[in-house]
Structure 1
């Protein structure tokens, strides 16, 4: 079976079923992830054997699980009888041989290939040939872990997200040799456990960690080019892009060292593909020991009594009484109704796709070009929003030659609709637009390479990292032709290959435009 086949085979066609609740599930590794996976399996009705090479760690892990179950009872999320039954099904194993009757073994130990290979090699001599073997790895190759096994076909990735009891997503990863029955059985088991599984092939980063890279990378690139400060970039992505957290605050939460290590791993696994190039600014932050919340300082300070920096927000400006909308504004078209509702008179004229301000300035949706290139015109760019009606902040950018009067008209126009305005420097693609374009491009490329289906990609990004919309869903609303054009403009200004649109993005753009 090829990698593409493993990810794209129709679900359930093999007839494989979930591991029955009456069968034993073993979890190896009693750390945070192992505890979480064991708890999920317990509450699904399985007898769970928890093993750790350090016996005291297994004992402590089991005690933690029982404490969590008690807290769920206290919060009214679990009844006492269910907790009691689950507690009776939780066992501590002191030797791998005690896992012999397991129907499924899930490993959550240290992320070192040699350790995992040795562990599963030993397990193969203990468990039955029909026992499903699974790794929770987030960074290693499922294919490589299974490479030395006698029966690599029954080996699969079951990548839970932390905290496993709370987050619904599970990436079911098929290695090069994984049998369809094994992948389907793992998929159905995760589903029976109340999770939302997605199927994917064994490629660097799987779905989420591969496709999420631009969310961090583009923000860091804007920061490195002095386009805006971290607080402002975060605010724009939250309040205009609809993301739950901005990339700077999120990496502070994850840990700068952890996030940078994942980025570097994906980049190196893709043979240093420029689309995944790590950030020098983040490297310097890690080298300085500013790792985020856990160290008390990252992009933002976290010591008690310190204040977080505020995003740049423009002072109140007077809104123009009337504007002229030239042509169709594309994904920004909903702004027209918002302006009219706010009392601004809107005149419609043909051609152009921009807003003409009273002073002569042109207000244009970010398209990958920069204002300073139009030295004979006053071009003011504004950023993309997930939902212009719901957005509470809009970013605008201008060239140094733009008159203060035109800028004030643009600021006032957005403010009259109830939105805060952040004025950033003149960077191509601004913040949200370039981020969404890159997310969509990498997502489309992953689908075309058989990593996962479009549906599973969007599901994974919504559930795994709480994106407000799947990247392909969002790109369809914006238009792949617009995405392709924006990336083309970015590629012209940064000719490194990083922004060159993938063949899949180009194809989708052409299909939208009738093949031209």
Structure 2
């Protein structure tokens, strides 16, 4: 680009599907001149009709005044041939996710538009650098990744390819704000920020299910009601649909050259092949009747309490939280250095499974039940218990009754390194830390992208801070020590900041000081 400061007033959009229409809607409402182009001429008229209907509905609901509605629609026109995009300041492609097709389009656009026109791709999974490689002037090409539905998903990823002029990204950042959305900046890496960070929830949830630890519904309940997420991994997969999400999982895994953190699951491949795609087809991990999710009912909690309970002191803070809960039930506490012969044994591992916790303290595994204390027990909407393979039915049921005595639902799972919530949350935090370590985006933009793009209660770095970076590091190291799988190796960003007592959102001090001096 020849100028580092330029404005965008006329935007061309190639592809008039859901994404193209959504981008056109917010652009037109922002006062931009919008030209719609599609290889199917009928689709252009259908898109403009859709926008007219949408603006009319918003006006009827009082969300848009009549004058602005009419002005927005007047801003939108169809481009009958690609040459009608010649006067655009920006052209955004929202077409099929195939590299050769996008490259061919951009090569054709270069013969039509002016030298200062920005070419942007709405790709969610392809390399911006690779798309730009087919262009005579790759410096004008950048990624401009919106999320569906565009008007409601207020986050936009602006991606710099290796040859992108920074001024292009700057202009797209400004334009995003003008259209009422929030921009985040990312380097060109597989998955950018949101799809990269989203691997933690989905791949780890699938791995837990694949190990037979808990059912799909129980994993979702734990992640919603114990960990505080809006959706569990399987509800989320049903919403996005496996015909979309499974290929993305495979793509990111292969683009990172089989990085173990992103290993897909055969569960989704099998279900996709069987047509169990998700909400839009009426059946996925759940069945849907009239669009309503059908969730299997939970069995009632047992009522017979244990005679006495011994609680491990391996983690003092966790011990105290469990004891406070037990005291309220009136059940006798066993304060001995070792458990009495008839006591229920409760352990509170972080990252270890119940078996390892029992062996480490030389406990009778038939009476051992583990409880997850990562999230505050007293304020929980759900608690999770875990048994060893040797735990007796009596120990399991009395423990269930004990921790459900105050009316809080309890999920009992089979033995698992890191329960459910610990594993998933630690993986989310760890991947977020690795995105920061690789300098794909700033810590602030990582957290912003994830909260707005994925709807998580906190971004991965802020979540790690809230739960304690040292605790997350302990969970990962303990899982790794049991399983030996490299997917659980801690990111250097996490390990160093945990050891130094620094926030996970903190950049290197020297870098921050250098920027301040500039």
Q: Above 0.5 in TM-score?
A: yes
1:396 to 374, 378, 385: 385
Q: Distance in 1 between matches of 2:334 and 2:144?
A: 54
| 1:322–1:344 CA contact under 8 A, matched in 2 | no
Residues 382-461 of structure 1 correspond to what in structure 2 (within 5 A)?
A: 382-383=371-372, 388=377, 390-404=379-393, 406-408=395-397, 410-461=399-450
- Classify 1:462/1:311 alpha carbon distance in 2 versus 1 (closer, same or farther; 3 Å): farther
- 1:363 aligns to what? 347
Gaps in structure 1 of 5+ consecutive residues: 1-13
Question: Post-superposition shift, 1:362?
Answer: 2.5
The residue matched to 2:288 in structure 1 has which SS?
coil
Q: Distance in 1 between matches of 2:214 and 2:344?
A: 26
| 2:123–2:143 CA contact under 8 A, matched in 1 | yes
1:476 to 465, 486, 505: 465
- 2:479 aligns to what? 490
The reply on whether 1:309 has 2:296 as its aligned counterpart is yes
Question: Post-superposition shift, 1:241?
Answer: 1.2
| 2:219–2:420 CA contact under 8 A, matched in 1 | yes
The residue matched to 1:380 in structure 2 has which SS?
strand
Q: Distance in 2 between matches of 1:227 and 1:484?
A: 22
Q: Distance in 1 between matches of 2:195 and 2:207?
A: 18
The reply on whether 1:119 has 2:108 as its aligned counterpart is no
Q: Distance in 2 between matches of 1:265 and 1:49?
A: 32
Q: Distance in 2 between matches of 1:16 and 1:382?
A: 57
Q: Distance in 1 between matches of 2:58 and 2:105?
A: 33
- 2:197 aligns to what? 211
Question: Post-superposition shift, 1:58?
Answer: 0.9
The residue matched to 1:158 in structure 2 has which SS?
strand
CA deviations 1:99-131 (Å, max 9, x no partner) are: 111112111011111111111111122222222
| 1:235–1:311 CA contact under 8 A, matched in 2 | no
| 1:103–1:132 CA contact under 8 A, matched in 2 | yes
- Classify 1:418/1:96 alpha carbon distance in 2 versus 1 (closer, same or farther; 3 Å): same
Question: Post-superposition shift, 1:472?
Answer: 1.1
Moved more, 316-325 or 451-460: 316-325
Residues 336-355 of structure 1 correspond to what in structure 2 (within 5 A)?
A: 342=328
Residues 78-477 of structure 1 correspond to what in structure 2 (within 5 A)?
A: 78-303=64-289, 307-311=294-298, 314-318=301-305, 326=313, 342=328, 359=343, 361-371=345-355, 374-375=358-359, 376-377=362-363, 378-383=367-372, 388=377, 390-404=379-393, 406-408=395-397, 410-477=399-466
| 2:176–2:183 CA contact under 8 A, matched in 1 | yes
- Classify 1:365/1:437 alpha carbon distance in 2 versus 1 (closer, same or farther; 3 Å): same
CA deviations 1:466-490 (Å, max 9, x no partner) are: 0111111111122222222222222
Q: Distance in 1 between matches of 2:293 and 2:28?
A: 42
CA deviations 1:158-189 (Å, max 9, x no partner) are: 11110001111111111111111111111111
Aligned length: 495
TM-score of the superposed pair, with normalisation by structure 1: 0.88
Moved more, 357-366 or 143-152: 357-366
| 1:154–1:182 CA contact under 8 A, matched in 2 | yes
Question: Post-superposition shift, 1:441?
Answer: 1.0
CA deviations 1:186-236 (Å, max 9, x no partner) are: 111111211111111110011111111121111111111111111111111
CA deviations 1:313-360 (Å, max 9, x no partner) are: 6334548899878486558976777667x57699999999xx999925
TM-score of the superposed pair, with normalisation by structure 2: 0.87
Question: Post-superposition shift, 1:310?
Answer: 2.9
The reply on whether 1:507 has 2:496 as its aligned counterpart is yes
Question: Post-superposition shift, 1:398?
Answer: 1.3
The residue matched to 1:228 in structure 2 has which SS?
coil
More relative contact order, 1 or 2 (CA 8 Å, 6+ apart): 1
Q: Distance in 2 between matches of 1:317 and 1:361?
A: 16
The residue matched to 1:167 in structure 2 has which SS?
coil
- Classify 1:46/1:390 alpha carbon distance in 2 versus 1 (closer, same or farther; 3 Å): farther
Question: Post-superposition shift, 1:262?
Answer: 0.5
- Classify 1:181/1:364 alpha carbon distance in 2 versus 1 (closer, same or farther; 3 Å): same
The residue matched to 1:64 in structure 2 has which SS?
helix
- 2:23 aligns to what? 37
- 1:56 aligns to what? 42
Question: Post-superposition shift, 1:281?
Answer: 1.5
